[in-house]
A = this chain, B = another copy of it.
Amino acid sequence: MGAKVGVTLDDVLDAALTIADERGLAAVTLTETASALGIRTPSLYNHVGGLEGLRRQLRLRGAAALAMAFRAVDAGGEPAHVLRALARAYRRFARQRPGLYEAIQPAVAPGEDDQLYAALQEPVLVVVDVLRRVPLADPDLIPAVRAFRAMLHGFADLERRGGFGMPVDIDSSFEMSIDLVIDGLLGHAQPSRT
């Protein structure tokens, strides 16, 4: 396959993600992305299927990045410690890559885009795997995963939007929030601070 040098798909996604992290996902436009690459807008159609395709690629990338961040936590050791490490990895991801985190959010129904669905499911499966190996107060896994996800997403999303008035003490508020869920899921009475 003969090729020009031009830009690659990775170049396009990197440019788009830079814009997303700096100015929000809504600022990721084909015009802006092309301009950042020194390219004309229609040329992007050679790499991604329009704006929709670009957003899909960003979501694939974001899902993979979050799954990688999850897999990087040590799954050994005390259950509560592993869950806390997962939670911190989640929040760190949302803080360091706000544009990527934002890109991940829209859900996709199974069967609508199987590759994308699988990618977005990856991080969830990591949590499921951890919770499966842990002695839960309630043996039903599904509500436990949902509660854990809800707290992580809710906290990260509110923080990303600046929903917490004062920036002070957000770290310890996060620790307490996840301890509520983790200790509750494990059936402990008192939150054990780290």
Interface residues of A in 62-108 (CB under 8 A from B): 105-107
Binds B, one of A35-43, A45-53, A150-158: A150-158
Say whether A173 contacts B147, CB under 8 Å: yes
Of the listed stretches A5-13, A15-23, A182-190, chain B binds A182-190
Indicate which residue in B150, B162, B179 contacts A154 across the interface (CB closer than 8 Å): B150
A143 and B157 within 8 A (CB): no
0 or 1 for each of A169-180: is its CB under 8 Å from B? (1 = yes): 110110011011
Provided the pairs A150-B151, A153-B158, A155-B150 are in contact, do residues A184 and B180 lie with their beta carbons within 8 angstroms?
yes
Contact with B along A118-162 (1 / 0, CB 8 A): 000000000000000000011000111011011111110110011
Complex-state Cα separation, A164 to B143, whole angstroms: 10
The CB with the most chain B CB atoms within 10 A, among A144, A150, A161, A184, is that of: A150
Could you say how many copies of this chain the assembly holds? 2
B157 close to A153 (CB less than 8 A): yes
Alpha-carbon distance between A162 and B106 when the two chains are bound, in angstroms: 8
Least CB distance, A139 to chain B, in whole angstroms: 12
| B107 contacts A161, C-beta separation under 8 Å | yes
The residues of B that contact A146 with a CB separation of less than 8 Å are: 155, 158, 164, 170, 173, 177
Q: Please indicate the chain B residues that have their CB under 8 angstroms from the CB of A149 in the complex.
A: 154, 158, 163
Chain B residues with CB under 8 Å of A188's CB are 189
Q: Is A180 within 8 A of B177, CB to CB?
A: no
Least CB distance from A107 to B in Å reads 4
Q: How far is the CB of A54 from chain B (nearest CB, A)?
A: 16
Known: A149-B163, A187-B190. 14 other contacts (CB 8 A): A107-B158, A137-B191, A138-B176, A142-B166, A143-B169, A151-B151, A151-B177, A151-B181, A154-B154, A154-B155, A154-B157, A179-B184, A180-B184, A189-B189
